[in-house]
Chain A
Amino acid sequence: MKGAEAIGEAAIRAGASAYFCYPITPQTEVAEYLAKRMPQVGGVFLQGESEVAVANMLFGAAATGKRVFTSTSSPGFSLMAEAMSYIAGAELPVVFINVMRCGPGLGGVLAAQGDYWQATRNSGHGDYRCPVLAPCSVQEAAELTVQAFDLAEKYRNPVILLADGMIGQMMEPVSLDSLTPGVPSEKPWATTGCRGRDPNIIKSLYLDPHVLEKMNLRLSAKYRRMVDEEVQVELYNQRDRLDLLVVAYGTMARICKTAIDILGEEGLHLALVRPISLFPFPAAAVHAAARHATRVVTVELSQGQMVEDVDLALRELGPSEFFGRSGGVVPTPDEVAGAFRRLAKGACQ
């Protein structure tokens, strides 16, 4: 299955009942798939007039308690930032899928990881955070899509699936039967008409500073709980002594694994820490692995964004080296292996 289609189908299996979208490469296939599929399962498919409108439609639809989502790519994700802030402020569960392309501006349609900051910090204004999940295969994209819906509901918060153009376009076998979505929870807060209860109001305006600060404190406690409970990370090829520790996510992490294998045959010991959750960032795992390594390198399809989180995680062990390609240029495993070889050997001298 194509990555984009697997994401669409996984969302349906997760119980998504509405999808709003605006076409943008490289993920329009999600929309094309769901335009056919949503009506088959009695769900809502709607192409909005802009990503601004789409993200605000999600607010309305999520307010009724349904599982709802969208998919877009970088320039569209920027336009959704406004509504994301309101959705975070009003504490609604919504899944946003950003299949990153390269930028800034219109940039290009090829794979990149330049939206790391935008996703893991705040795309919109104000004091909020969103869980960010980054798949490295089509299977994982399907699995994390399902998880994203459960997480969104668990925390009543937007959740971002951050994929890159390679994941969206790649064809790989997928097992959809292994997907196990959680049971949708009761939503006494939903605006479904006030029969038999007091009216529900879903809002983000608090004019009294003390009331709003209380709200901010409650939200930040929620974000801390995410940090405690939602870290996901893959460790590849860990050993006690490493010539080089690599930190990479998404498609870039797959290329790094191949490069690590190439160098393994040359007798160099490299390992990979692959953050699956970008927020919360697996800082403890990075630090623990780095204690066995003489050097650490962060590899990204950007000019260096996650590397700042890696450096924060490394603390006294840092800073990390950086290797990145951008603009839609995806390095080959040999090119990456070459860079690793230089770093690993440099560390030995």
Chain B
Amino acid sequence: MTATQTLYSRPEALRRVPTHYCPGCTHGTAHRLIAEVIDALGIRERTVGIAPVGCAVLAYNYFNCDFLEAAHGRAPAFATGVKRVRPDLIVFTYQGDGDLASIGMGEIVHAANRGEKFTVIFINNAIYGMTGGQMAPTTLPGQITTTCPDGRDVRQVGYPIRMSELLATLRTPAYVARGSLHEPGRILEAKRFIEKAFRYQVEDRCFALVELLSTCPTNWAMPPDVACKWLADNMIPYYPLGELKLPEESVTS
């Protein structure tokens, strides 16, 4: 008999339940990375997650920690409320691009600018998933959705908003990074960003946001593998990957 060693198993911060996400959707990957980080930092029992309105509204059924369900776009205000009265808790929001960059633009910018010490996981899939594939503030120029059937016309509705870049311009110290979930190497890199974003909070340092480029095969009308390639070919050139802002840098600026 040889001793067996577990190399890969379900993180404690994830419940043992199937999710409702579509095949090939990267929400599940994002959930797992967050859960692994929560386990690694040993913070599950003092973490409060905040679910968005969007495909991930039921995230609280999958994470194994305390959770609030926010109004559409307001998760950063919810998180501010929790964190201000209980700074000892670890608070994270999980938000889509319609949630964070459209209806919740005010809440995210001001929370970041106040330097609220919580962590934001921002899922950018360039579309409104839950409501069936409408244009998001992040939809790429020319990209077809149900509300821009001829493709996003930038003369009518402007260019997609680069949220991470926008937030990185704020003078308040923060951690802002953009990763992608379309291939294994990038997934591991994204996990490092997420771990850093939580660690800054554990150390009571700063606001932290990780944008994750994600796929929506259903509403992009593509098989999952084609969706991953579409992300690499179209999203990454517009939304470059990497760390955009470190709290250490902003101290001097």
Per the bound structure, the CA–CA distance linking A199 and B66 in Å amounts to: 5
Q: Name the contact of B69 in the complex, choosing from A20, A83, A202 (C-beta under 8 A).
A: A202
Q: CB-defined interface of B38-58 with A at 8 Å, one 1/0 digit per residue? A: 000000111110110000011
Distance in angstroms from A212 CB to nearest chain B CB is 14
Per the bound structure, the CA–CA distance linking A193 and B67 in Å amounts to: 9
Q: Does B80 contact A (CB under 8 A)?
A: yes
Task: Establish whether residues A60 and B110, one from each chain, have CB atoms under 8 Å apart when the complex forms.
Answer: no
Task: Establish whether residues A56 and B71, one from each chain, have CB atoms under 8 Å apart when the complex forms.
Answer: yes
Of the listed stretches A46-54, A168-176, A338-346, name the one at the interface; the rest are far from the partner chain.
A46-54
Per the bound structure, the CA–CA distance linking A56 and B80 in Å amounts to: 9
Question: A48: which B residues are within 8 A, CB to CB?
Answer: 77, 80, 110
Distance in angstroms from B165 CB to nearest chain A CB is 21
Q: Does A106 contact B (CB under 8 A)?
A: no
Question: B86: which A residues are within 8 A, CB to CB?
Answer: 64, 66, 192
Q: Does A72 contact B (CB under 8 A)?
A: no
Task: Establish whether residues B107 and A49, one from each chain, have CB atoms under 8 Å apart when the complex forms.
Answer: yes
Q: CB-defined interface of B60-101 with A at 8 Å, one 1/0 digit per residue? A: 100111111111001001111111111001000000000000
Q: Does A348 contact B (CB under 8 A)?
A: no
Count chain A CB atoms within 10 A of each CB in B46, B66, B81 and give the residue with the most: B81
Task: Establish whether residues A200 and B66, one from each chain, have CB atoms under 8 Å apart when the complex forms.
Answer: yes
Per the bound structure, the CA–CA distance linking A49 and B69 in Å amounts to: 21
Q: Name the contact of B82 in the complex, choosing from A54, A61, A83, A205 (C-beta under 8 A).
A: A61
Q: CB-defined interface of A98-133 with B at 8 Å, one 1/0 digit per residue? A: 000000000000000000000000000000000000
Q: Does B223 contact A (CB under 8 A)?
A: no
Question: B23: which A residues are within 8 A, CB to CB?
Answer: none
Task: Establish whether residues B47 and A61, one from each chain, have CB atoms under 8 Å apart when the complex forms.
Answer: no
Per the bound structure, the CA–CA distance linking A202 and B46 in Å amounts to: 16
Distance in angstroms from B75 CB to nearest chain A CB is 8
Known A-B contacts A57-B84, A61-B81, A193-B89; the reply to A202 vs B68 at CB < 8 A is yes
Q: Does B106 contact A (CB under 8 A)?
A: yes
Distance in angstroms from B212 CB to nearest chain A CB is 23
Per the bound structure, the CA–CA distance linking A192 and B74 in Å amounts to: 20
Question: A204: which B residues are within 8 A, CB to CB?
Answer: 69
Q: CB-defined interface of A62-94 with B at 8 Å, one 1/0 digit per residue? A: 111010100000000000001100100010000
Known A-B contacts A56-B71, A203-B68; the reply to A50 vs B84 at CB < 8 A is no
Q: Does A59 contact B (CB under 8 A)?
A: yes
Task: Establish whether residues B70 and A56, one from each chain, have CB atoms under 8 Å apart when the complex forms.
Answer: yes
Task: Establish whether residues B106 and A86, one from each chain, have CB atoms under 8 Å apart when the complex forms.
Answer: no
Known A-B contacts A193-B45, A201-B67; the reply to A60 vs B89 at CB < 8 A is no
Task: Establish whether residues A60 and B57, one from each chain, have CB atoms under 8 Å apart when the complex forms.
Answer: no
Task: Establish whether residues B82 and A201, one from each chain, have CB atoms under 8 Å apart when the complex forms.
Answer: no
| Cross-chain pairs A/B with CB under 8 angstroms, 30 sampled | A18-B85, A44-B85, A46-B84, A53-B77, A56-B74, A57-B77, A57-B84, A60-B83, A61-B81, A63-B81, A64-B89, A82-B71, A83-B74, A90-B68, A191-B66, A191-B68, A191-B82, A193-B46, A193-B66, A194-B45, A194-B64, A196-B45, A199-B65, A199-B66, A199-B67, A201-B67, A201-B68, A202-B68, A204-B69, A205-B69
**Which 5 residue pairs across A and B have the least CB separation, nearest first?**
A60-B81, A56-B77, A203-B69, A61-B81, A193-B46
Interface of B toward A, CB cutoff 8 Å: 44-48, 50-51, 57-58, 60, 63-71, 74, 77-86, 89, 106-107, 110
Extra contacts, 7 of them, besides A52-B106, A68-B85 (Cβ < 8 A), are A56-B74, A58-B81, A61-B84, A193-B66, A194-B44, A195-B45, A203-B68
